[in-house]
Amino acid sequence: MREAIALQQATCTGIDLRKGKNMPSLKGRHFITEQEWTKDEIDLALELSTELKERKKRGEITDWLKNQTVFMIFFEQSTRTRNSMGCGITQLGGNSHDLTPDKMQLTHGETAKDTAIVLSRMGHAIACRNCFYNVGNKYLRDLAEYSTIPVLSLQDDIYHPMQVMADLMTIQEKFGKNLKGLKVTISWAYAESHAKPLSVPQSQILLFTRYGMDVTVAAPPEFPLMPDIVEQAKDNAEENGGSLRFSDNMDDGFKGAQVVIPKNWGGFAGLSEWVDDDNHKLRMKANLLKHKDWICDARRMGLAAKDVKYMHALPADRGKEVTDEVIDDDKHSIIYDEAENRLHTAKAIMALTMGGR
């Protein structure tokens, strides 16, 4: 135990991690869902995120992962995730190696097992985004089974732990550390731009309830979240004094909310990801088109609390999910702080998990 802390302190030079006392070292730990990290561990990561944010502002060099490599395997596009990881590891003195599937030999008989073991022998973490429905999380779990270095999720079909860490950090910056009773609404919104997985709202309801927030999920009945995730989130709420309620009305969801996070899940292109046959696909498209009015606009923002904050993981489908007026209103919209915190939280997660023996 003591050595674990010593190691953490030795690696993160100058950081006082005493709060982490009596915690096992996080070196080598996977980060596939924040649900598997204790609240103490998440708090430690958030504290380190804030520390790293301040150090960056002061222009300090933080060579904590000097010459170390994080592999990044992206099965889907990414801007914020790629950049937060890439800049993050650079700022920590290491490097990222981009392994897009076309560069790898995934079509040449390469299994997750072989990939995990070989990368473990060479570098220091495997970060992966794989959002294919019913595949992504399983792939990450396969990697983790065989990897001796941390496997870090960059989003899968169920969870997006990196995003939700940045969300929580941003909410704490605006509302303080004690979030008990904060009214947060996660709303479905209409979009056409591309497939948006369930992972963001799911990780949000899981984590926010653990911090005692009063969470509302507003969505049309045709776009439910996964039942076992909902059950887990209810348990989280019960254990931590938060609450979780559902509404099928966007206006209702917005009423009195202090934070609103309206975002599509299950969009046009995304249909192919979680349906089995073409008939189903057509039904889903018809379902989607019924809800073009699920947009976050000024009128709906008016239903929320006076100082309501608008959040979005970006990229937003402007004019569909949200009006320009709302997303560009700096008084309420905190999307850029949210995006920036992707950097600091990613750095914290890497600094805590990487670099072990």
Beta sheet of 95-98, edge-to-edge order: 95-98, 69-74, 125-130, 151-156
Question: Residue 115 CB, nearest distance to a copy of itself (Å)?
Answer: 7
Relative to beta strand 259-263, strand 243-247 is unpaired
Cβ nearer to a copy of itself, comparing 302 with 315: 315
Give, in order, the Cα–Cα distances in Å from 144 to each of 20, 126, 153, 199, 226: 24, 9, 10, 19, 23
Relative to beta strand 183-188, strand 259-263 is parallel
Cβ nearer to a copy of itself, comparing 59 with 221: 59
Residues pairing with 320 in the sheet: none
> How many residues lie near a copy of itself (CB under 8 A)?
61
Question: Residue 258 CB, nearest distance to a copy of itself (Å)?
Answer: 24
Cβ nearer to a copy of itself, comparing 236 with 341: 341
Considering only residues 55 through 84, tell me which ones interact with a copy of itself, judged by CB under 8 A: 57, 59, 61-63, 66-69, 71, 74, 77-80, 82-84
The 178-217 contact track toward a copy of itself, x by CB under 8 A, reads ---------------xx-----------------------
4 counts as binding a copy of itself under rule CB under 8 A:
no
92 counts as binding a copy of itself under rule CB under 8 A:
yes
10 counts as binding a copy of itself under rule CB under 8 A:
no
Could you tell me which residues come within 8 angstroms of residue 103 by beta carbon, excluding any fewer than 6 positions away?
A: none
Give, in order, the Cα–Cα distances in Å from 59 to each of 62, 88, 195, 346: 9, 14, 38, 18
Cβ nearer to a copy of itself, comparing 60 with 239: 60
Interacting residue with a copy of itself among 45, 205, 295, 343 (CB under 8 A): 343
Q: Which residue has 């979030």 as its token pair? A: 179
Interacting residue with a copy of itself among 169, 311, 339, 350 (CB under 8 A): 339
Percentage helix, strand, coil for the chain under 3-state DSSP, each rounded to 5: 45, 15, 40
117 counts as binding a copy of itself under rule CB under 8 A:
yes
Considering only residues 121 through 160, tell me which ones interact with a copy of itself, judged by CB under 8 A: 121-123
Considering only residues 260 through 299, tell me which ones interact with a copy of itself, judged by CB under 8 A: none
Reported in sequence order, the residue ranges of 125-280 that DSSP labels E, i.e. its strands, are: 125-130, 151-156, 183-188, 214-218, 243-247, 259-263
Find the part of the chain contacting a copy of itself (CB under 8 A) among 13-21, 127-135, 293-301, 308-316: 308-316
Cβ nearer to a copy of itself, comparing 6 with 122: 122
Taking the CA atoms of the chain, what radius of gyration do you get in angstroms? 20
The 314-333 contact track toward a copy of itself, x by CB under 8 A, reads xxxxx---------------
The 19-58 contact track toward a copy of itself, x by CB under 8 A, reads --------------------------------------x-
Find the part of the chain contacting a copy of itself (CB under 8 A) among 105-113, 133-141, 199-207, 244-252: 105-113
Helices (H), 223-334: 227-240, 250-254, 271-274, 278-289, 298-303, 324-327
93 counts as binding a copy of itself under rule CB under 8 A:
yes
Q: Which residue has 């206006």 as its token pair? A: 251
69: tokens are 């490599």
Residues pairing with 72 in the sheet: 98, 127
261: tokens are 């996070």
How many other C-beta atoms are found inside a 10 Å radius of the C-beta of residue 1?
Answer: 10
Query: How many whole angstroms separate alpha carbon 119 and alpha carbon 146?
Result: 10
Question: Residue 322 CB, nearest distance to a copy of itself (Å)?
Answer: 10
Classify the C-alpha dihedral 249-198-47-231 as positive or negative: positive
Cβ nearer to a copy of itself, comparing 115 with 209: 115
- Binding positions for a copy of itself, rule: CB under 8 A: 57, 59, 61-63, 66-69, 71, 74, 77-80, 82-84, 86-87, 90-95, 97-100, 102-105, 107-111, 114-115, 117-119, 121-123, 193-194, 314-318, 336, 339-340, 342-343, 355, 357
